[in-house]
């Protein structure tokens, strides 16, 4: 192992990828700079998450494509989950926990 290589936690990688996938018009380079990452590291993470998906799985919908009733159902199903259980539930549906939190705040306005 190269001693100069940085090791990143799974949570950090998840947060960085969440920023990339919900970046809007910002570039991947901008997200990498904001996260203090090399753009190639970030792109490798994106590539590895794309290739580790099961080939026969249905592609997950983008969070912005979920209808309000689907979002509410997702909030009900995930209520009470936390930590690894919540992350696993989110991964199965192509979501991140921060997206659920945003949906919850949208409903509670």
Query: Is residue 103 exposed (0-12), middle (13-18) or buried (19+ Cβ within 10 Å)?
Result: buried
Domain ranges of the chain: 10-52, 63-107
For residue 2, the model assigns a pLDDT of 61
pLDDT in tens, 51-86: 655 444 445 678 888 899 999 999 999 998 888 889
pLDDT in tens, 12-33: 888 888 888 887 788 999 999 9
Instruction: Determine the Cα angle at 9 with ends 3 and 15, to 5°.
Output: 130
Measured between alpha carbons, how far is residue 27 from residues 14, 21, 49, 57, 81 in Å?
A: 18, 11, 19, 28, 33
Give the residue-averaged pLDDT of 4-12. Answer: 83
Q: CB 8: neighbour CB atoms within 10 A?
A: 15
Q: Is the model's pTM score more than 0.75?
A: no
């Amino acid at each position: 192992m190269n001693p100069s290589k940085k090791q990143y936690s799974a949570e950090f990688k998840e947060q960085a990828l969440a920023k990339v996938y919900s970046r809007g018009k910002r570039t991947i380079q901008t997200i990498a700079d904001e996260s203090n990452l090399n753009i190639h590291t970030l792109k490798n993470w994106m590539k590895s998450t794309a290739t580790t998906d099961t080939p026969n799985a249905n592609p997950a919908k983008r969070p912005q494509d979920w209808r309000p009733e689907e979002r509410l159902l997702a909030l009900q199903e995930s209520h009470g989950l936390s930590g690894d259980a919540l992350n696993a539930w989110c991964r199965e549906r192509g979501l991140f926990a921060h997206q659920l939190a945003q949906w919850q705040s949208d409903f509670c306005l």
